[in-house]
Amino acid sequence: MLQSKPHYALVTGGSRGIGKEVCRQLLQKGKPVLFTSTNEAAGARVAEELSSISTAPVRCLLLEQGNPNSVQQLVQQVQQQYNQQVDLLINNAAIMIRQAWDAESYATTLAVNTAGPLTLTEALLPSLAANSLVIMVTSGLAGLVCSTEDYRQQVTSQQHWRSIAAALPAFNPDSPMASLKPEQPGALAPTYCVSKALMNRAVQLMAADEGLQARGVRVVAVTPGWCRTDLGTQAAERSAEEGATSVLHPYFHWQPSLHGTFTRDGTLLDW
């Protein structure tokens, strides 16, 4: 009797921080995991570490999310080796450039945090198993209250998720985003705020996409909260374990009403 092939989770940015903890929690539940790292040696070490906690398969794949060639190489690898075997895609990899509002920081942040995951998701769709779940890890800073009116309008006016990566909002050096006061939400990392707001808008648009609906693709945006990781710093209020549990809540507690929503710890958020 032939055994069916396992269904994997694919977690980007899984070699450290919340991504690594997401992988650990999935493996503890017996879910096979593919995770990405920008560094082959570091990824191999993490894969070896994670393999000690579960008999479920775990493997590291290379990905530089802001590099289109790297994205395409990953997609080809999944097509060739794991076609129709990935039923959970967690777009977790991201960068945060703090206290900078300039063209270079803006372009770099949106390339990695917005264009990268959207391009990857679109390219992977034909290789995903039916009824797959796509989790976009965003942030409470995605809340449109964090953005000024010029970028709020650019985000909300987006009409199709596939076009966001191809036509990211232009950088405005004179935006009020450049002069947010320290106490204002988003002031710590304004480019990060814009990138995550765009991802939340993409999730809304993906949920309404009839082509994705026909394939049963489910999509959600989730914030892990402010967590103690390299990105979040040790001053954060939550642990990586708590953040990962929030990210995985839609997977372990799925209900149709979650489709197209933004949550933290399973609680719906209004952004």
Q: Say if residue 229's pLDDT is above 90.
A: no
Alpha-carbon distance values, 270 to 141, 146, 150, 250 (Å):
12, 12, 20, 17
Lowest mean pLDDT among 12-26, 79-93, 237-251: 237-251
Q: Which structure tokens are listed for 266?
A: 């399973």
- The predicted model gives 159-185 an average pLDDT of 90
- Going from the N-terminus, what domains does the chain have, and what CATH number goes with each? 8-268 (3.40.50.720)
Q: pLDDT tens-digit profile of 87-129?
A: 999 999 999 998 899 999 999 999 999 999 999 999 999 999 9
pLDDT value for 188? 85
Between 71 and 141, name the one with better pLDDT.
71
Within 13 Å and on the Cβ side, how many CA atoms surround 43? Answer: 19
Nearest to 254 by CA among 210, 216, 224: 216
